[in-house]
């Protein structure tokens, strides 16, 4: 599974979120093959190449086009909270369907 994490500038926050999301996804049993981080402006164009996009809650709507193309977009409030990421993943029906395949 390919995951992308995005924040405003693509450096600090997205890197922390990328690490948190990767650990959470692996701990939940997902086979994470790629985990990248970038800015929201760049991610809007590349998100369609990923299975899951993690971003801060204020940026979720910016990925509507990626969702239309099949990407799963998950917004989080605390980018360092593994528990929050795990809960969001567990509550996402599309992700759970991929896990159970």
Domain span at 30: 2-99
- What are the pLDDT digits (tens) for 5-44? 999 998 899 999 999 999 999 999 999 999 999 999 999 9
- What CATH number does residue 94 fall under? 3.40.50.2300
Q: Is the pLDDT of residue 82 over 90?
A: yes
Q: CB–CB of 54/62 below 8 Å?
A: no
Domain count, the chain: 1
Model's pTM, two decimal places?
Answer: 0.94
Q: Is the dihedral of CA 63, 89, 14, 36 positive or negative?
A: negative
Residue 81 pLDDT grade (very low, low, confident, very high; cuts 50, 70, 90): very high
What are the structure tokens assigned to 50, written together? 């990923």
Q: Is the pLDDT of residue 74 over 90?
A: yes
* Res 76: pLDDT: 96
- DSSP H/E element including 34: strand 34-39
Q: CB–CB of 38/45 below 8 Å?
A: no
Q: Is the pLDDT of residue 96 over 90?
A: no
For range 37-56, the mean pLDDT: 94
* Res 17: pLDDT: 96
- DSSP H/E element including 12: helix 12-27
């Amino acid at each position: 599974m390919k995951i992308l994490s995005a924040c405003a500038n693509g450096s600090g926050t997205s890197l922390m979120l990328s690490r948190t999301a990767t650990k959470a996804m692996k701990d939940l049993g997902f086979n994470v093959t790629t985990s990248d981080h970038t800015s929201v402006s760049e991610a809007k164009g590349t998100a369609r190449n990923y299975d899951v996009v993690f971003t801060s809650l204020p940026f979720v709507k910016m990925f509507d086009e990626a969702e239309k193309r099949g990407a799963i977009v998950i917004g989080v409030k605390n980018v360092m909270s593994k528990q929050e990421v795990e809960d969001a993943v567990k509550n996402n029906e599309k992700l759970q369907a991929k896990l159970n395949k």
